[in-house]
Amino acid sequence: MPADQYGPRLTVQQARDQISKARHLGYRPSVRKKGVATRNLERVFSTIVTVDGPSTRDIAALLDLSAGTVSALVKDLEERQLVRISAGRAASQGRRPKPVVVDHRTRHTLGFEISADKVVGVVMNLAGQAVLHQVADLGPEARTDKEWVDEDKVVDTIRNLFNSLEARLLGRIRDQYPDALDQGPNPVVGIGVSLGGHINRHTGEVLFSPDLRWGATGNQKEEWGPSVHLRQRIRDVTGVDKSDIVVDNDANGRAAAYQLYGGGAYFNDAPFTVVLVTEKGIGATHFIDQEIYRGATGKSLELGNTLAKPDGYPCRCGDNGCLEAMSTRDAILAVAKAGSLEEARKLADEGNDQAIRAFTQAGTYLGTGLSVLVDLLDTSRVVLTGPAITRADGSSPVVFDKHYDRAMREALQEHVYGRGIDPGNVEVIEETGEWNGARGAACLVVHDMITGHLGL
Ligand SMILES: [Zn+2]
């Protein structure tokens, strides 16, 4: 077989052209070009973030590094005020190594979740706790007369929330740790911003958001606004360096929170997927080597807007029959002939056929969609979480209701290719705590720090 069967190899010029084409999308190759020392620093930090109080020796064993190397890296992280050696009491039985913990005293990340009617902001410490929060309504006047949400109004709202939260954070640190602000790095490690839609994480541009009606495409008419360079605009009003701001999809934020602070199997190296189920939407996030896979321009895993039924229910995105239009609240209510999910659940519990059919049908759509996802990604685990998870019957958490959950699992196993996925690896996890969306946005900063996209 001739070596040039597929044509000649690239010329240097062609290689250059390919690189510039990829750069044009905003795509940057993975940051692994950095030295081993930096990568190890990230790994040690991620271990301290995700594991509860490991000792230096524990970290060395988990990461297959020498204790001396880990000690030096921990010292470096201490100087950056990211971690500290816990003062912790000496254990009653003999001497035990002191745990290394995240330093939650001064350094914090800010998270903002934008939706059509409000912006929610939180300040999160590096232990994953939302210590301050604030909500600002966008109000009806935020809608332009063309129906999309006014970009300037959103940016102003974020500026006001940022100023207020930052001032409150500094006040809090001064009260609790009077000397902490005199020296050391900026208490604000970074800003995470999340919203539903297609966001180019590399450039920080919101290319398309059905909620805000940003980013008109062929499917929309004049009632949509243009795409928005949100990261640049947030930089302008907060003064925070662009390289410390992450703008990303809301599902990615929730998934990062699960991965880092939700017992999310950070050390389970096999790729896994987190699916966010809300009353109106389905989002998904895939982790490869503990890093969120974002695709060429940030649209990857847009599961909710894949086609489930040609000519099905209209979807927020302008298309018809998308998975989220067929498998969430409105689809359930249309078939159940109910006014609310609570009512539909009650009807189904009472044995009402139509309500049971509504949940079963919608659950079957989601399960079928998940079977495609499992086949495409060969994912090791599917974790479903989000506001549509409930425990109404007092037992294990379910998606929407028990009929929905069962139908979803059955359709997934029925349609998956070949061996499929172990049913035990399809987990439904209840969200705990409030402010989850904004906290997820704050978690994106930490995720990007430990994967080398933001500086430590
Ligand atoms: Zn859609």
CA of 316 to the centre of ligand 1 (A): 6
CA 317 to ligand 1 centroid distance, Å: 4
Distance in Å, CA 246 to ligand 1 centroid:
25
pLDDT in tens, 310-336: 999 999 888 999 999 999 999 999 999
Q: Which residues contact 354 (CB under 8 A, 6 or more apart)?
A: 335, 336, 337, 347
Pairing of the two strands 282-288 and 245-249 = unpaired
For 196-352, list the strands marked E by DSSP. 198-200, 205-208, 245-249, 272-277, 282-288, 291-292
Residue 362 has pLDDT above 60, yes or no: yes
DSSP result, 247-277: EEEHHHHHHHHHHHHS---TT--S-EEEEEE
What pLDDT digit, counting tens, does each position of 383-427 carry? 999 999 998 666 899 999 999 999 999 999 999 999 889 999 999
Q: How much distance in Å is there from the Cα of 312 to the middle of ligand 1? A: 10
Distance 146 CA to ligand 1 centre (A): 21
Q: What is the pLDDT of residue 146?
A: 63
What is the distance in A from the centroid of ligand 1 to the CA of 296? 20
Cα(216) to centroid(ligand 1), Å? 14
What's the gap in Å between 314 CA and the centre of ligand 1? 8
Give the integer Cα–Cα distance in Å for 170 and 186: 10
Expressed in angstroms and rounded, the spacing between residue 205 Cα and the centre of ligand 1 is: 20
The helix-helix angle for 436-450 and 36-50 (nearest 10°) equals 150
440: nearest Cα among 305, 151, 246, 155: 246
Higher pLDDT, 218 or 373: 373
Cα 307 to ligand 1 centre (Å): 8
C-alpha 47/C-alpha 82 separation (Å) is: 12
First to last CA, the chain: 50
- Report the alpha-carbon distance of residue 38 to residue 59 in Å, rounded: 16
How close is the Cα of 100 to the center of ligand 1, in Å?
A: 45
Residue 380: exposed, middle, or buried by beta-carbon count in 10 A (0-12, 13-18, 19+)?
A: middle
User: What separation in Å is there between the alpha carbon of 62 and the centre of ligand 1?
Assistant: 42
CA 61 to chain centre: 29
pLDDT of residue 3: 53
What is the Å distance from ligand 1's center to 21 Cα? 28
Round to whole Å and give the CA distance between 420 and 372: 10
pLDDT band at residue 169 using 50, 70 and 90 as cut-offs: very high
The model's pLDDT over 143-157, given as tens digits with 9 standing for 90+, comes to 766 678 899 999 999
Confidence band (pLDDT; 50, 70, 90) for 88?
A: low
Going from the Cα of 310 to the center of ligand 1, the distance in angstroms, rounded, reads 12
Q: Are 33 and 438 in contact (CB under 8 A)?
A: no
* Cα-to-centroid distance, 327 and ligand 1 (Å): 11
C-alpha of residue 326 to centroid of ligand 1, in Å: 10
For tokens 């059905």, the residue is 210
Of the pLDDT bands very low, low, confident and very high (cuts 50, 70, 90), residue 221 is low
Q: How far is the CA of 23 from the centre of ligand 1 (A)?
A: 28
- CA of 43 relative to ligand 1 center, distance in Å: 38
Q: Which residue has the higher pLDDT, 125 or 37?
A: 125
More confidently predicted of 332 and 181: 332
Of the candidates 343, 445, 357, 454, which has an alpha carbon nearest to the alpha carbon of residue 407? 357
Q: How far is the centre of ligand 1, averaged over its atoms, from the C-alpha of 305 (Å)?
A: 4
| 56 Cα to the center of ligand 1, angstroms | 48
Higher model confidence: residue 182 or residue 55? Answer: 55
